[in-house]
Every structure is written in structure tokens, then in C-alpha cells.
Chain A
Amino acid sequence: MNLRSFAAALAVTVALPFGAANATDLEVTHWWTSGGEAAAVAELAKAFDATGNHWVDGAIAGAGSTARPIMVSRLTGGDPMGATQFNHGRQAEELVEAGLMRDLTDVATKENWKDIIRPASLLDSCTIDGKIYCAPVNIHSWQWLWLSNAAFKKAGVDVPKNWDEFVAAAPALEKAGIVPLAVGGQAWQSAGAFDVLIVALAGKDTFLKVFGDKDEEVAAGPEIAKVFKAADDARRMSKGTNVQDWNQATNMVITGKAGGQIMGDWAQGEFQLAGQKAGVDYTCLPGLGVNEVIATGGDAFYFPVLKDEEKSKAQEVLASTLLNPATQVAFNLKKGSLPVRGDVDLAAANDCMKKGLDILAKGNVIQWTDQLLSADSQKQKEDLFSEFFANPSMTPEEAQKRFADIIASAD
């Protein structure tokens, strides 16, 4: 190759990115890697690619607890991605305060997010000092008990309609060689299950007093003691789970090896992927069948401040694509979560999602612990409950005392 053609080749490779400038690559990092989640995120990528841009998938395997440190270190280390998932709430609070995240208020006013996003608390979680920093994409609620109809049939008992019936059915399940309650080994799962028990058994007000007002007297009081008794039951029923990941635990329910699982509505994507039908193969009990309240945690996309003009434009396109009615429906049906806007048609939703939508329409919603507590307090809570669920010699009283301490020191 002579020098001139070499130089020409070099020039072409340099010029190429500019030539294709209207198809901007935008790297999007997220931790949606289980089967149902991957199918859902593919819908987002499809919608974004349809706008003439290109979605570069930056999936980080493992749960959010693995992915978030990687995202944060990229952001603080000066290597920002185009957009990134966080659970909206306090996880990205400091990143916003440090000026690393882009202000989306312009896009939000142009597209009227204030009017279309429902419930309003979602947008509040994205708002810091009156400015909007994230685009919520779905509502995830933790308050679900998933039950395997096949497991209860095998044990010869009716499928329970609430938590108490479930606890009562546990011995029959055990006799049939079925683990009554699947709880994966990752710490966030046991901590989350406990938060669900609080809402279901002690009620919305107690939940808000403990996590919202950080009232340690309530946390040490009789209402929460009742919840710790239930957690003790849950601990006994979860013995023999021996899996780590949440989707492995969900799989135990799908295959009938476990009776049930307390897990967020993202578990539904797994049931769907396995070809199971709500009401026939599995049963879902929002609020554990006791107290039908759902929390409006969920996922949101944050957009780091970028120097590249083209990419910044593409960020705006992505933000409005995420909230587009068609994208919302396609994504949330696959993901098993609820859309963030009330004006979309979810006729294709299954029984469980419809139950969720009903509760949402009635306004029985609360903010979730991700929105109320700092990551630090959440971690301490996880340490406590992973120990509690693994160590049968730890009494509920002892655990409650430590729980109250965590609440007292929470910020």
C-alpha cells in the first residue's frame, strides 16, 4: 500500500463518524439481565433505534448492588455514559448535587411530564431543588406474594388467599417436600421481604412513621414486634432455599419446588417467559393479600452531563422516547411492571398487572424505602436481615432492637 492510499484510508476512517453524525451512538447502562428483563430492555432499544439514533447496550450483570458501584465510578471518574438506570429516589442524589447529571427540566416542560406522569410522587423523586433530573420509566412494587398453584395442589391444600393462610399451609407443603417460601441468599431480598411484611401487617401509617419520620419508638414498639414475629415465620419457612439470585428463587416457584416467594412485580416477567398464566399456573397476592397497597419505587434513567453536542441532543430524544405511550406499553408488558403514565391502553395486561393498575387507580400508593432511606441505611438493614434469615439462633427481639438502632441513626 503506498503512502497516498494509506493516508486516504486513514482519512476515511476518521471522517466516517462525522458522515454518520445523525445516527448518534448513545451508551445506556443498566442492570436488566434476567430473561424477562432483557426482553423488556430490547423494546427500549428498538424504540430508540427507530428515531435514527443507536442504542449501545451497556448491560452490567449481577444485581443493582453490583452495577451501581460500576456506574458511579465511571461517572465520578470522568467517563460518563449516555444514560444510566438508577432506582429513582436517593441513589443518585449526591451525583446530582455534584453537578454530574443533566437537568431535564426543558424536555419535561415541553412534553408536559407534570400532567402525564402518575402518580406525581414519581416525578417528585426525580426533582431536586425544583429541577427534574430523571425520566421514570416504570413503577415497580415490592408488595407481591407469588404462589405456585401446582405446589399447593401437590401438597393437597387450597391456594392461600392471604399471608396467614399461607403460614398455616406451610407444614403441608413441607410434608410434600416443598420449600414453603423461597428467599434467595442475596441480602436485598430478605431486607425487601421484611419491608413488605411491615406494610402488609402493620399498615401504611406505621410504615411511613418508621421509614419516613424515622421514628425509633415506633420501630421498637409492639406493631413492629408483630412484624418480626411474622419474619420469624418466614425465616422458618424459607429454610432449604439454598439459591442466591432472585430469579433462581422465582424459578423454584415456577417449577413447583417452592410454594411461594415475596418478590417485586419484576418476578412476573420470569413467569411470562416460562409460559405460565396468571390465575392458572400461579397466583399473585398484592400486599400479601392483607393490605392492598403498592409502593411506587421503580426505575428511572438519569442523563450525565456530556460535552458532545450531538450526544446531548440524542439524550433528549431518548428521554422523550422512554415516556412515549407506545414504548411504555411495549416495555412494561414485557417487564411486568406498571407504566408511569395513566393515559396508555394496557388491554393486553394480565390479571396480576390489572390488579396492580386497580390499586394504582384507587390511589393506595406509598413511597418505597429506596425513596425514603439513604443507601447507607438500606445497606445496614440488608446486613441485619441477611443475618437474621440465615441464623436461626437470632431472636426476633434481638433483631428488632438492632432494627430500631438503624432507624434511629438513619438520615
Chain B
Amino acid sequence: MAGHTRGSGRPNQWLRNLNAKLASIPMILTAVVIFLGGTIWTVVYSFTNSKLLPRLSFVGLDQYERLWAAPRWLMSVQNLAIYGLLSLIFSLAIGFLLAALMDQKIRFENTFRTIMLYPFALSFIVTGLVWQWLLNPEYGIQSVVRSLGWTSFAFDPLYNANIVIYGILIAALWQGTGLVMCLMLAGLRGIDEDIWKAARVDGIPMWKTYVFVIIPMMRGVFITTLVIIASGIVKVYDLVVAQTSGGPGIASEVPAKYVYDYMFQAQNLGQGFAASTMMLITVAIIIVPWAYLEFGGGRKRA
């Protein structure tokens, strides 16, 4: 500000908008020191044999070799892949479907929207506990159906190692689709009414309008939703802890839980850091192309 108003010669680029720059220093410091610094520190220490307390004695790639040889880690990665792919597909599909239905100028839209969004207001821990009870064969869905007379009915995903991850997926979808629906609905409301009129005049069937006109126009909303869902998937932890705590056996373990257990229970920081570095790489693989598309490629096109 100061340099600007004196007006003698060209204003110094660095001093322009000085107040705003000063005000943002704490946030910049936080970002650099805590986020970036913490990340680098973690990656560096993942190459050491730190146990309960961090210490700098490097062991090369040992922690990573052990990590990728551990059956529990492999199971975690596999679970995350299944859970991630399916929850991405289903929450987008169901969320969009619900939003499209909601967009048909129905009555009591507010009420429905509130009902759909309610689960999202619950934490993953509560969601997990609710579904743990619902899926418990002795109290939940199975016992209700059996008491209605279908005595051979069996539905106990949380106690079956082969399908336990789908039991967790059900709870995650119940919790998460409401938010996706709202985002999609906002996107749909942003579409100009004239587009619909034009499509109707041309006699294009409704589903075709959605698939070929509306969805491509909602690209921005889809990408935002995708990033929100994807980052939620990578860090899934509390839902698993509340529902199964990784069981039966190690059948529903996820990477975030591996990190916590090895850092704190096994008192092996090095191993936990190696696992969290692998998670960081996963997130980077998701975020970097998106950021490039949104901020790099997008600007050139505009």
C-alpha cells in the first residue's frame, strides 16, 4: 500500500497489497511448516529404523520391503482397492440418480433432501456402530427377517471374511450418497432452463438429454465430487474401527489402520511412516492430475 500511494516511479511488485500479504503470512507459515515440513519429515524418517521414538539411523528401503511383504498390508491395499472403486462408482451413480429424481419438481422436495442428507451429519463412528448392530446376525436385519418366518435367511457380512468389506461399503454409501446428491442437485440447478426447452423442442428423450448434454455440462461438479469422494476413501479408518476393528482376523484391514497400529501399538514409527508415505503417494496420484487439469490445462483453454 505504502509504495503504491507515494507514486514515485514504478511500485515495487513485492510491496503491492502489503496488508493482504502480511495478513496471510501466518497461514503460509502454517502450510509450509506443518503440512510440507511434516510431510518431508515423515518421508525422511520412513527410511530409518525408528521405534517408539524417532531416531535418525538410516536403513535404506528395509521398511518398505517389510511393508510389501506383510500379508496384512497386502490385504489392506486390496480392501482399499475394492472399497474405493465400488464406493466411487456407486456413490456417483446413486447420488446422481437421486439428484435427477429430486430435480423433477416433486412435492416435499425439501423434506426428501433433508432425509437424504441426514446420514451425512453423523460421524463415521456413529455410522459404523449403527451398521454394526444392523448387520449383527443376532440383533439386526437377519434376525428381523427370520422372525418374520424366513428362518433360513442369512445376512451377516461382518462375520464372513470373504464379504466383510462389502458390509463396510454399505455403511459408507448410506452415509456418503446424501452429500453427493446435494452436490449434483446444485449442479443440475445451475443448468439453464433454456437448454431443457431446446432439447424438448428438438424432441430428444430425457435420458439422452441427461447423458449427452447435461452431464458434460456438469464436468466441474463431477470433478469436485470425485476429489471429495476419493480423498475420503484413502483415509477411511474410523468406519472400519467402529464396525469390525479390522476383523474377522485381518479381513477388513485398511491402510490407515495399519499406519496407526504400527506407529502406536507396535511402537515402530519407521514402519508406520513407510505405510503413510505409500498413502501419500496414492493421494498424490489422485490429486496431481486433477490439479493439473483444473489449474494448469483449464486456464489455457479459458
CB-contacts of A161-199 with B (<8 A): 185-186
Residues 377-406 of A, flagged 1 when their CB comes within 8 A of B and 0 if not, give: 011100100111111000000000010000
A98 within 8 A of B: yes
- A76 with B53, Cβ < 8 A, contacts A69-B264, A391-B161 known: yes
Cβ-neighbour of B247 out of A98, A386, A402 (below 8 A): A386
Q: Tell me whether A375 and B249 are in contact (CB under 8 A).
A: no
For B265, give the chain A residue with the smallest CB separation.
Answer: A65
CB-CB < 8 A to A388: which residues of B? 249
A51 within 8 A of B: no
Instruction: Name 12 extra pairs, CB < 8 A, besides A185-B248, A379-B268.
Output: A65-B265, A68-B264, A76-B53, A376-B266, A379-B266, A383-B70, A383-B72, A387-B250, A390-B249, A390-B251, A391-B161, A391-B248
Query: Closest approach, in angstroms, between the C-beta of B154 and any C-beta of chain A?
Result: 14
Query: Closest approach, in angstroms, between the C-beta of B113 and any C-beta of chain A?
Result: 37
B262 within 8 A of A: yes
Query: In the complex, A409→B268 CA distance in Å?
Result: 14
Interface residues of A (CB under 8 A from B): 65, 68-69, 72-73, 76, 91, 93-95, 98, 185-186, 242, 244, 374-376, 378-380, 383, 386-391, 402, 409
CB-CB < 8 A to B262: which residues of A? 376, 379
Q: Tell me whether A387 and B249 are in contact (CB under 8 A).
A: yes
Query: In the complex, A288→B250 CA distance in Å?
Result: 28
CB-CB < 8 A to B248: which residues of A? 185, 390-391
B52 within 8 A of A: yes
Residues 142-175 of B, flagged 1 when their CB comes within 8 A of A and 0 if not, give: 0000000000000000010100000000000000
Residues 61-90 of B, flagged 1 when their CB comes within 8 A of A and 0 if not, give: 000001000111000000000000000000
Query: In the complex, A244→B246 CA distance in Å?
Result: 11
- A379 with B71, Cβ < 8 A, contacts A185-B247, A374-B267, A388-B249 known: no
- A94 with B53, Cβ < 8 A, contacts A185-B245, A185-B247 known: yes
CB-CB < 8 A to B70: which residues of A? 380, 383
Query: In the complex, A221→B263 CA distance in Å?
Result: 32
Residues 49-60 of B, flagged 1 when their CB comes within 8 A of A and 0 if not, give: 001110000000
CB-CB < 8 A to A387: which residues of B? 71-72, 249-250
B261 within 8 A of A: yes
- A374 with B261, Cβ < 8 A, contacts A386-B247, A386-B249, A387-B250 known: no
For B247, give the chain A residue with the smallest CB separation.
Answer: A185
Query: In the complex, A116→B279 CA distance in Å?
Result: 52
Query: Closest approach, in angstroms, between the C-beta of B155 and any C-beta of chain A?
Result: 15
Cβ-neighbour of A98 out of B53, B267, B268, B271 (below 8 A): B53
For A91, give the chain B residue with the smallest CB separation.
Answer: B267
In this complex, how many residues of chain B approach chain A with their Cβ under 8 Å: the count is 25
Cβ-neighbour of B249 out of A73, A76, A380, A391 (below 8 A): A391
Query: In the complex, A7→B145 CA distance in Å?
Result: 68
CB-CB < 8 A to B51: which residues of A? 94, 374, 376
Query: In the complex, A388→B66 CA distance in Å?
Result: 20
Query: Closest approach, in angstroms, between the C-beta of A64 and any C-beta of chain B?
Result: 9
- A244 with B245, Cβ < 8 A, contacts A383-B72, A390-B161, A391-B251 known: yes
CB-CB < 8 A to B159: which residues of A? 242
- A375 with B250, Cβ < 8 A, contacts A94-B52, A185-B245, A383-B72 known: no
Q: Tell me whether A375 and B245 are in contact (CB under 8 A).
A: no
Q: Tell me whether B266 and A375 are in contact (CB under 8 A).
A: yes
CB-CB < 8 A to B267: which residues of A? 72, 91, 94, 374-376
Query: Closest approach, in angstroms, between the C-beta of B28 and any C-beta of chain A?
Result: 26
Cβ-neighbour of B52 out of A72, A378, A389 (below 8 A): A72
Q: Tell me whether B265 and A375 are in contact (CB under 8 A).
A: yes
CB-CB < 8 A to B247: which residues of A? 185, 244, 386, 390
CB-contacts of B205-252 with A (<8 A): 245-251
Query: Closest approach, in angstroms, between the C-beta of A361 and any C-beta of chain B?
Result: 35
Query: Closest approach, in angstroms, between the C-beta of B162 and any C-beta of chain A?
Result: 10
CB-CB < 8 A to B251: which residues of A? 390-391
Query: In the complex, A65→B249 CA distance in Å?
Result: 16
Can you pick out 25 interface pairs between chain A and chain B where the beta carbons lie within 8 Å of each other?
Answer: A72-B52, A76-B53, A91-B267, A93-B52, A94-B53, A185-B247, A185-B248, A186-B245, A242-B159, A244-B245, A375-B52, A376-B262, A376-B267, A379-B262, A379-B266, A379-B268, A380-B70, A380-B266, A386-B247, A389-B249, A390-B161, A390-B248, A391-B249, A402-B71, A409-B66
Query: In the complex, A94→B249 CA distance in Å?
Result: 30
CB-CB < 8 A to A68: which residues of B? 264-265
- A376 with B264, Cβ < 8 A, contacts A94-B53, A387-B249, A391-B251 known: no
CB-contacts of B240-289 with A (<8 A): 245-251, 261-262, 264-268, 271
For B264, give the chain A residue with the smallest CB separation.
Answer: A69
- A379 with B265, Cβ < 8 A, contacts A242-B159, A387-B250 known: yes
Query: Closest approach, in angstroms, between the C-beta of B123 and any C-beta of chain A?
Result: 18
Query: Closest approach, in angstroms, between the C-beta of A111 and any C-beta of chain B?
Result: 29
Query: In the complex, A389→B247 CA distance in Å?
Result: 11
CB-CB < 8 A to A72: which residues of B? 52, 264, 267
Query: In the complex, A400→B66 CA distance in Å?
Result: 18
Query: In the complex, A379→B258 CA distance in Å?
Result: 11
Query: In the complex, A386→B268 CA distance in Å?
Result: 19
Of all A-B residue pairs in the complex, the 6 with the closest CB atoms, nearest first, are A390-B249, A69-B264, A379-B266, A390-B248, A94-B52, A375-B267
- Find the residue from B53, B251, B266, B271 having the highest chain A CB count within 10 A: B266
For A94, give the chain B residue with the smallest CB separation.
Answer: B52
Q: Tell me whether B71 and A376 are in contact (CB under 8 A).
A: no
Query: In the complex, A98→B52 CA distance in Å?
Result: 10
Query: In the complex, A390→B244 CA distance in Å?
Result: 13
For A386, give the chain B residue with the smallest CB separation.
Answer: B249
Query: Closest approach, in angstroms, between the C-beta of A242 and any C-beta of chain B?
Result: 7
Query: Closest approach, in angstroms, between the C-beta of A376 and any C-beta of chain B?
Result: 4
